[in-house]
Structure 1
Amino acid sequence: MAPATVALAVAGLLTVSGTCTSAAPDRAAAARAGESGGLSGAAACPGLKGFTCATLTVPLDHRGGVPGRLGLKVATADNVKAPKGVLVFLTGGPGQPGVPFVERLSKVLAPVLKDYRLVMFDQRGTGANALQCPRLQQEMGSSDLTPPTARAVTDCAAAIGPDRRFYSTDDTVADLESLRRALGVRKLTLDGVSYGSYTAERYALAHPQHVARLVLDSVVPQTGYDPMDRAALRAAPRVLTAACRATGCTTDPAADLAAVVGRYGNGVDVIDALTTWEFVDPDYAEMIDALHKAANGDPGPLQGLIAGVREGGAASAEELSQGLHASTLCLDGRYPWGRADTPVAGREEALEKAGAELTPADYGPFDAATATGLGSMLSCLHWPRTPVPPLPPRHRRLPGVPVLLLGGDRDLSTPLEWLYDQKRLTPRARVVVVPGAAHSVQSRAADDKGRRAVFDFLLGRR
């Protein structure tokens, strides 16, 4: 596959429909919608039969210290009296909107939508209200791992300004609770993919009495995202070896991967490309071949794939806001230097110290420079000092509601190791692993096993 073809394939990952594309409500419009919050401006969603689009008005600061309102787009199915209640589907990122995916997800979930009322919303800072950081957006595109420049990060934080402290997962959880109240229902069933699974977990911890069921697809555990991405680094040999066996390839991709990183010192580029490649081809066929050639002295094909992935990963802020992504990860995360309220001076020294303490058991076939040089780490290394909300206890168990944990064994974005981390904290978990599937099982897996499991789970058949 030529680099240009790779770019086209990757670019297709973030294609969204035009559902609910009216002008975005700004803070003034949100204020006009009513200081008491709730849904306003309801009208049929353009081009989408059976759904109503509206605006959810929420406080900028749920703690009440800073005035201001936000208007979040919401799409609700019109079957208000669905017998099993409301199903809120939570998209990922952080930074991905929800409403533009209603048409696609309503087709995926069609077998359960006579029983459930599907609701999706644009989380704060996403979609038409995306936080805009042009330089960071250009440098990172749709990637979590591409390293940004320090200038892009500091420019982004300056553009958002002091309000950046209001874009944590805590704030989104509070918005979701506002949505529940606006819908007038006692409980929600939540279906979260990737970062959406983390949001669902955090909502369940904060509001256990308002959760009926949880589907957690491509799981980010409630203990939080590791900015060194060590589980993915260690999982890469397993994933590539399984893919190789399934396709009958004759190389040893785990050995080739270790040889490439050792020879070229390009671990960040390689794990970034692999993590994106699962969306292009969960068999990783061309990537495995390119790794083998690079291990044997011909890095050209691998460099071409890496370049194609970077080119094809371009995304607008409306598709996936890197400003929101950085704001949320930096507020939520735990880093070698602490959290975002730690002074910037001294962070680099703390990161260097943490890197020096790593061993091969931490990063597998990669190296310490990979673990400490990923975009998810560097964005927050340079993020200005910002007040942070308290985090819930890391090892508090989820409430005892039915939970389906769903994953693909080829996923490097959210490796299976994370799913099993979450299982240990989930009393009533059912685990379904789909062989050959990568990230976002419900919408992307070729095998229907995961979708059937979701339907059975939501309809109470198992």
Structure 2
Amino acid sequence: MRLLPATALAVAAALTATVACTASSTATTRPPRPVLTGAATCPDDAELTCSTLTVPLDHSGHVRGTLRLRVAETGNAHAAKGVLVFLSGGPGQPDEPLAPRVLPKVKPLLAQYRIVFVDQRGTGANALQCPALQQQMGSSDLTAPTVGAVTGCAAALGPDRRFYSTADTVADLDDLRQALHVDRFSLDGVSYGTFTAERYALAHPSHVSRLVLDSVVPQTGYDPLDLAAMQAVPRVLRASCAAVKCGFDPAADVAAVVRRYHDGVQLLDTLTSYEFVDPNYAAMLTALHQAANGSPGYLQGIVAGVAQGSAATADELSQGLHASTLCADGVYPWGTDDSPVASRPAALAATRARLTRSQLGPFDAATATGLGSLLTCLAWPREQVPPAPSAHRRIPGSIRVLLLGGDRDLSTPLSWLRYEASLVADAKVVVVPGASHSVQTHATSDAGRDAVYAFLLAG
């Protein structure tokens, strides 16, 4: 989803190596009340306290079992402005190992907020494990996996895979709120974390004070064809070209490369990853121009380097969790995951035939229908779709919302941010020029972080 995700890649040195504990299943009954247990100093940051939140595997109570989620928090239990919960992206990325990177970026908030990180179900050291799918996709949303890797993953996870939807994580968050002994808290979500925060606000509006939505996935869900990103590529690359004075039209070069080499999926995957390396795309612009004119070697080297840097272990970003969540949540050309698997390819082919040039930007229909997350869910087993709040309801005015984005973001394009803003009653929008994905932690400009401080400290 960039959603994923999403996700900062190792090629950009954006994420530290992660060590986390998240989910382990046991056949015990649900505790009478959510509680945090086993408080101790966190292994990743001695200034944080880590504890365990035990939640039901199945919040409906029909299937027995529990999951143990790691929770990390700052020490100011009676902070004046209450609790701020940070929600990471993916889906599949743990939160607690990110704390050492996030906390220095939010120093002005530490005196006023009790900041909490929670490893969402299916992430971290006890992540959902699918070795073949993990090796093929790493931290990418778009790399196309083999059918065998997808079906092997689903078989290995078994029927419990249906308990890893966003609706399940939303229920976990409400257990966390109760365990923290607060009636309301604020949520700061990045990438897929914005979707989780939005869905929590829709399900429990009376328990949310403020939302920070950084690199926004709309509450209605992501587009598995990624048309918004394809349409955004010309704007983003032309802005980057203007910044470095490249002297040619990179959008025309992308179109020429796709026509000449038929590698739209790989190129889009590389572009959405390269924003973490350089939001001005300086080397990429040169490589594209050379490839468009018949010399693809430089571009091929960049593509290979980005693919190598995109490798990730399951405890860094679990592709098993990524698949389980996206397939449970998503709406695809064939409908939702309760659609018969045998009928899905025909529906996808019909959608491909209807795509127009204006929808695809400089790419082609093969790109839109060949993306990794889409193909994963094409082969994912049929199962019942979990209930979720109406995604078209407006987030009420009782919740103040800051929507934050970078104008160079291809992972979660600005059109998604603007659409989500139309669904929010009290929305403040801040777009940071020259910034890409995950503004709070990655932008060189302080404009986005300053907007977050002002928003969370006001009133």
Q: Distance in 2 between matches of 1:263 and 1:449?
A: 40
Q: Distance in 2 between matches of 1:328 and 1:222?
A: 15
1:364 maps to what in 2? 361
Q: Distance in 1 between matches of 2:158 and 2:44?
A: 36
DSSP 3-state at the match of 1:335: coil
2:4 maps to what in 1? none
User: How far apart are residue 36 of structure 1 and its match?
Assistant: 4.3
DSSP 3-state at the match of 1:261: helix
2:5 maps to what in 1? none
User: Is this contact kept in 1: 2:10–2:310, CA < 8 A?
Assistant: no
User: How far apart are residue 48 of structure 1 and its match?
Assistant: 2.3
The residue type paired with residue 433 of structure 1 is V
Q: 1:145 aligns with which of 139, 142, 147?
A: 142
Q: Does 1:312 align with 2:319?
A: no
Deviation string 1:276-333 (CA, Å, 9 cap, x unpaired) is 0000111111111111001101111111111111111000000000000000000000
**1:79 and 1:330, CA in 2 relative to 1: closer, same or farther beyond 3 A?**
same
Q: 1:210 aligns with which of 194, 207, 211?
A: 207
Q: Distance in 2 between matches of 1:394 and 1:53?
A: 33
> Any residues of structure 2 matched to 1:59-458 within 5 Å, and which?
59-400=56-397, 401-458=399-456
**1:172 and 1:99, CA in 2 relative to 1: closer, same or farther beyond 3 A?**
same
Q: TM-score normalised to the size of structure 2?
A: 0.95
User: How far apart are residue 47 of structure 1 and its match?
Assistant: 5.4
User: How far apart are residue 393 of structure 1 and its match?
Assistant: 2.4
The residue type paired with residue 60 of structure 2 is R
User: How far apart are residue 37 of structure 1 and its match?
Assistant: 3.6
The residue type paired with residue 114 of structure 2 is R
1:14 maps to what in 2? 15
Q: TM-score normalised to the size of structure 1?
A: 0.95
**1:183 and 1:132, CA in 2 relative to 1: closer, same or farther beyond 3 A?**
same
User: How far apart are residue 102 of structure 1 and its match?
Assistant: 1.2
The residue type paired with residue 186 of structure 1 is D
Q: Distance in 1 between matches of 2:390 and 2:264?
A: 33
The residue type paired with residue 252 of structure 1 is D
2:3 maps to what in 1? none
User: Is this contact kept in 1: 2:241–2:247, CA < 8 A?
Assistant: yes
Q: Distance in 2 between matches of 1:49 and 1:316?
A: 24
The residue type paired with residue 332 of structure 2 is Y
**1:437 and 1:11, CA in 2 relative to 1: closer, same or farther beyond 3 A?**
closer
User: Is this contact kept in 2: 1:17–1:103, CA < 8 A?
Assistant: no
DSSP 3-state at the match of 2:321: helix
Deviation string 1:332-376 (CA, Å, 9 cap, x unpaired) is 000111111111101101100010011012111101110000001
**1:218 and 1:25, CA in 2 relative to 1: closer, same or farther beyond 3 A?**
closer
**1:16 and 1:458, CA in 2 relative to 1: closer, same or farther beyond 3 A?**
farther
DSSP 3-state at the match of 1:46: coil
1:55 maps to what in 2? 52
Q: Distance in 2 between matches of 1:27 and 1:149?
A: 29
DSSP 3-state at the match of 2:161: helix
**1:120 and 1:24, CA in 2 relative to 1: closer, same or farther beyond 3 A?**
closer
Q: Distance in 1 between matches of 2:363 and 2:192?
A: 25
**1:420 and 1:24, CA in 2 relative to 1: closer, same or farther beyond 3 A?**
closer
Q: Distance in 1 between matches of 2:29 and 2:41?
A: 20
DSSP 3-state at the match of 2:322: helix
**1:69 and 1:335, CA in 2 relative to 1: closer, same or farther beyond 3 A?**
same
Q: Distance in 1 between matches of 2:44 and 2:390?
A: 44
The residue type paired with residue 320 of structure 2 is G
The residue type paired with residue 402 of structure 1 is R
1:5 maps to what in 2? none
Q: Distance in 2 between matches of 1:405 and 1:186?
A: 24
- Structure 1, gaps ≥5 residues long: 1-7
DSSP 3-state at the match of 1:170: helix
User: Is this contact kept in 1: 2:250–2:285, CA < 8 A?
Assistant: yes
User: How far apart are residue 394 of structure 1 and its match?
Assistant: 3.0
The residue type paired with residue 411 of structure 1 is D
The residue type paired with residue 360 of structure 1 is R
- Structure 2, gaps ≥5 residues long: 1-8
User: How far apart are residue 145 of structure 1 and its match?
Assistant: 0.3
Q: Distance in 2 between matches of 1:212 and 1:34?
A: 27
The residue type paired with residue 13 of structure 2 is G
The residue type paired with residue 171 of structure 1 is D
| Percent identity for Structure 1 against Structure 2 | 64
1:3 maps to what in 2? none
DSSP 3-state at the match of 2:449: helix
User: How far apart are residue 17 of structure 1 and its match?
Assistant: 5.5
Q: Distance in 2 between matches of 1:338 and 1:277?
A: 31
**1:436 and 1:421, CA in 2 relative to 1: closer, same or farther beyond 3 A?**
same
Aligned residues: 450
User: Is this contact kept in 2: 1:14–1:315, CA < 8 A?
Assistant: no
- Alpha carbon RMSD of aligned pairs, Å? 1.6
User: Is this contact kept in 2: 1:31–1:57, CA < 8 A?
Assistant: no
